[in-house]
Amino acid sequence: METAIISHKDRGLRSVLLDLETKILFIGWFPGWSKDIAEPSTTLVGTGFDAGTNHLEYEFYEHLAIHKIIEKTVNAEREGLDGVVIGCFYDPGLREARELVEIPVVGVCEASLHVASMLSAGKYSVLVGRRKWIPKMADNAKIYGFDSKIASWRVLDLTVPEMKDEEKTQAAILREARGAVEEDMAECVVLGCTGMAGQAMRAQEELGVPVLDPVLMGVKVAEMRAALWKRYGISQSKIGGYEPPPADELGPIYKKAYGKK
């Protein structure tokens, strides 16, 4: 893979010779085909949540997952990776991870809603597995700025484990996505769970509106952010809400929590 001189040199800035390969960690349910969605210059590495649960539908399970998400993100930075995708539509641990590292950290819900907002003149809908999920996700959407962009939250009535039945899931996606487009005037549909990953293309072809796969959205946004980070040093601000603890205070606390510094 080639390197390139990225510079603002006609503005008197320093020229830098950069390696343009990026390596991104995807934490979560990582289907085999996911590697294929990365750009040629990206190496996408997958790892599970290791939360001891087979889904994260509940706040408590999310809490357990966050513990590992933090550790995996910190390790990713230490090992020189260029970005992390948190692969659950609740965006668990997004704040915690961004606080502790400088490399880009992306949540699949945040990424999906940003893209959907750019694709829709009006509103879009989000499909979730169960009603249970909506309040937390809707609060996140509000915090991200998108509450007025969401036409509806629609429920598949499927748990995450049930989503392994791909045909059943596709049928539910089609049913609710069609309702969103026809009844709620959605212009775009977001699949609100990585358990639905891989199902977007079929629905998009059937419905004729963009249907967004959260895994794909997370990876594409992470690639963009990794490029901004590697070449321009642009990542989440460390002044304000993502300010990290002082290193000397953090060290022993982190060590106690994870058994190593």
Span 200-219, contacts to its own copies by CB under 8 A: 200-202, 204, 208-210, 212, 216
> Shortest distance, CB of residue 231 to its own copies, whole angstroms?
8
Does an H or E element contain 256, and which?
A: helix 247-258
Q: Is 67 in the site for its own copies (CB under 8 A)?
A: yes
Q: Is 171 in the site for its own copies (CB under 8 A)?
A: no
Distance in angstroms (rounded) separating the CA atoms of residues 202 and 174: 9
Nearer to its own copies, 81 or 90 (CB): 90
Total of residues contacting its own copies (CB under 8 A): 110
Could you give phi then psi for residue 161, rounded to 5 degrees? -60, -35
Distance in angstroms (rounded) separating the CA atoms of residues 213 and 177: 13
Stretch that binds its own copies, among 49-57, 75-83, 171-179 (CB under 8 A): 49-57
| Binds its own copies (CB under 8 A): choice among 44, 106, 158, 180 | 106
| Binds its own copies (CB under 8 A): choice among 103, 115, 126, 190 | 115
Q: Is 17 in the site for its own copies (CB under 8 A)?
A: no
Distance in angstroms (rounded) separating the CA atoms of residues 87 and 72: 13
| Binds its own copies (CB under 8 A): choice among 23, 149, 175, 178 | 149
Query: Which residues in the 215-254 window bind its own copies by CB under 8 A?
Result: 216, 220-221, 223-225, 227-228, 231-245, 250, 253-254
| Neighbour count for residue 198 (Cβ, 10 Å) | 19
Q: Is 162 in the site for its own copies (CB under 8 A)?
A: no
SS3 content of the chain, % helix, strand, coil (to 5): 50, 20, 30
| DSSP characters over 37-93 | GS-TTEEEEEE---SSSS---SHHHHHHHHHHHHHHHHHHHHTT--EEEEESTT-TT
> Shortest distance, CB of residue 79 to its own copies, whole angstroms?
19
Q: Is 120 in the site for its own copies (CB under 8 A)?
A: yes
| Binds its own copies (CB under 8 A): choice among 45, 48, 50, 53 | 53
| DSSP characters over 98-111 | HHH-SS-EEEHHHH
Stretch that binds its own copies, among 75-83, 123-131, 172-180 (CB under 8 A): 123-131
Distance in angstroms (rounded) separating the CA atoms of residues 77 and 192: 27
Q: Is 163 in the site for its own copies (CB under 8 A)?
A: no
Could you give phi then psi for residue 150, rounded to 5 degrees? -95, 115
